[in-house]
Amino acid sequence: MAQTLGLVLLSFFTVSILLVPFINLLYKIKFTRQKQKTRDMFEVRTHIFDKFHEHKSGIPVGGGALIIFVVTLLYLLTNYLSPLLGVERTSIYPYKQEINVILFTFLSFGLLGLYDDLRKTFGFRGVKFWGLRFRVKFIAQWALAFVVAFMLYFALGINIINITFFDVFNLGIFYIPFAAFTIVAFANAVNISDGLDGLASGLILICLTALLVMSSSILDTTLSIFLGLLIGSLIAFLYFNIWPARIMLGDVGAMSFGATLAVAGLLLGKPIGLVIIGGMFILEAGSSLVQILSKSIRKKRVFEVAPLHLWLQYKGWQEPKIVFRFWLAQIIFAIFGLWLAFF
């Protein structure tokens, strides 16, 4: 545990040193949020979203890219140097395969998100777009998620889920679609939540801390090291991301961290605990899903606007108030999820 806490501090100070020059670089290359006329998945203009977010135009995006770079570099160095320094490494899986699963998820979803961010910001052939079309992005997410699910099933031999108060269930080959669904769901849930200053990054930080407690309890240092590095980096990033934000995660961070959060829960064998620990992400994604289904089937809206944080803005809540109260709710969800996991 002392090693992991040291790595939290190492990643915190590394990102803290690099973040201001990185923000200046993003300004220089104009990798900033563009003022757009956004549309939803039905190609309908989202006037309410634009109203509440037009003041964020010009803020650098892609903060997740720096975190991904730093965490990946430090993670590889730590795993290489640990045996040389005589640090004991324990894991419930073959550690090389576990590292491959974690890094593939972290980097592949990050690259997909980065491509979406670049498309939103710069467009192609002189034409600006508002990111990837929902269908294209969704298919790409599923393709990557199935690759990760195959790695979990065949390389690590994971095929069970542990449901507190019930039993351990062996899903067999059906674990693959279950894992893929979990990964896609959390990648989108975090991406949906990344709408207010400090909201998604703060919620992720709380979830990762809970998962770190779980991984440390089973002595999975391979996962604990990664979670510690990501937590330290997010603490440093959050200082510049809280209201008023100087930098945003972007899709590069939201997709990567959401998918990796899901994989961490799957590696721990606690997907139900993950759902509870990530309760606010579930509420955010759930509100959007209800809205989408209602518009598709009933041709009517359930809410004036979705997701939940945007609806609260529409109802008159101030941005910092929403963020701080979501954080508090997430802390309670995390404690409840940990309680169930250790029951």
> Is 191 labelled a binding residue?
yes
What are the tokens at 108?
């592949």
Following CA atoms 215, 146, 307, 253 in sequence, which dihedral angle do they give, to the nearest 10 degrees? 60
Give the chain's length: 343
SS in 3 state form for 39-106? ECCCCCECHHHHHHHHHHCCCECCHHHHHHHHHHHHHHHHHHHHHHCCCCCCCCCCHHHHHHHHHHHH
Which residues lie across from 160 on neighbouring strands?
A: 170
Where do the DSSP E strands lie in the chain?
A: 160-163, 167-170
d(CA 286, CA 61): 26
Do β-strands 167-170 and 160-163 pair in parallel, antiparallel, or remain unpaired?
antiparallel
Q: Is residue 70 within 8 Å of 14, Cβ to Cβ?
A: yes
CB atoms within 10 A of CB 114: 21
Position 23: which residue type? Answer: I
> Is 24 labelled a binding residue?
no
Structure letter (DSSP) for residue 160: E
Structure letter (DSSP) for residue 170: E
Following CA atoms 177, 139, 285, 319 in sequence, which dihedral angle do they give, to the nearest 10 degrees? 150
d(CA 207, CA 333): 9
Residues contributing to the annotated binding site: 191, 251
Residues contributing to the annotated binding site for Mg(2+): 191, 251
